[in-house]
Amino acid sequence: MTAMLAAISFDPTIRGILVVVVGTTVLVGSVYAIIATNTGIRAGFLIVLAGLFGWMFLMGTVWWIYGIGLKGRDPSWMPVELNYSRNQPIDTAVVKKLPPSDELPDAKELMESHPLLLAVAKASEGADWEPESLTDVVTVATGLAVAGADDVETTIGPGIEKNGTDFLADHPDVATELAGAPADVAAKISAEAIAVRDKIEDQLNGWCLLSETDTRRGEAVASSDAAMTADDAFGDSTTNSSYIVRDVFFHGGKEPCTPIAEKSLVSRVWHRIATTFQVKNPKLYGVVTVVKAKQLPTIPGEAPPPPEAEEGTSTVSMVMLRNLGNRRFIPFCFTLINFLLFAVVASQLHVRDKRVMAAKAAFEAGK
């Protein structure tokens, strides 16, 4: 018997059951014992149940609103298709609208055609900075789209003096533009950043290219990593170091391509109201593009070398579909059931009170 008891795991199964049983017996049972001594066994039982179901209804309402407690599945990305080359047929219809990487603008040429934006990017990223992908361009442009006079004075100006001296020597017209009033310089930088970002979005056929600062990018990349590792996309030993993530594209959903923080307060409030009352959720697709990385040797005692893309390899695309899950559905069911039980018990208490009042009235009338 001792050996059998030692083999039973008390954490969390047995202990959890005991906690619930003891808690129900002590807390609910003690309250019921006190009420029953004053109102009777049946009335006390109905009063305790009404209080219990009413409290659970309120708790379930909080769970339902905030998506906590006894919740369902959280939203997640479901892998739909792994495409090794855009020359390969694409099964997902909406992905066919996404242009291949070689048909999109070249990141370096795009930045060189906007020297003012390139100068400001070098000021913050370093004198030798050059964009490796369109994501780098969008990341820089998104941050500078909301640039203000304070940013020019405290960040952009000192950065230009530190990292942009050589660049401004080769581009005197940019130096002239940066020599103006801080408010005017900020307006020029913001306008050029928005123009560059719009130029990229106009060629994406409704798709959005996420910046590295977008919070949605991290979850999509993590889900893509898990799917590629599970599918052995680059062989049996596929890991996160087997490839380099390039761009992350989104299509559909409720969130706009342009960050909502750039919009006015009225626009943000209206967007929140409109999306809240939007009954049907548009499908949200995500495409994470990666390229195979070189297998570089690691020297013991030294830091691993920076990843490099293998030459001549095609861009691999992981197509995913957003599953909204049912996080609030289970709390909703919990709340609804407890509300119905509360209503039934409360109605029984009301019927009982009506009978007592009728009996009391008949007794007083017979005196």
For every residue of 18-70, DSSP letters joined together read HHHHHHIIIIIHHHHHHHHHHH-HHHHHHHHHHHHHHHHHHHHHHHHHHT-SS
Any domain includes 336:
yes
Any domain includes 49:
yes
Any domain includes 357:
yes
Per-residue pLDDT of the chain (367 residues; tens, 9 = 90+): 566 555 555 555 677 788 888 887 888 888 888 888 888 888 888 999 999 999 999 999 999 999 888 888 888 999 988 888 776 677 778 888 888 877 888 888 888 888 888 888 888 888 888 888 889 989 988 888 888 888 888 888 888 888 878 888 888 888 888 888 888 888 888 888 888 888 888 888 889 999 888 888 889 999 998 888 888 888 777 877 788 888 999 998 888 777 776 677 787 788 788 877 777 888 899 999 988 888 777 777 777 777 777 777 888 889 999 998 889 999 999 999 999 999 999 999 999 889 888 888 888 887 6
Any domain includes 252:
no
Range of the domain at 359: 2-71+329-365
Q: What is the number of domains present in the chain?
A: 1
This prediction has a pTM of 0.77
Nearest CA-CA partner of 31 in 53, 54, 49, 18 = 49
Any domain includes 229:
no
Tokens of 33: 């014992």
Any domain includes 173:
no
Element (H, E) at 247: strand 243-252
Q: How far is CA 32 from CA 40, 42, 48, 49, 350, in A?
A: 10, 10, 6, 9, 19
Say which residues have a Cβ less than 8 Å from residue 204's Cβ, sequence separation at least 6. Answer: 98, 99, 104, 249
Contact 122, 171 (CB under 8 A): no
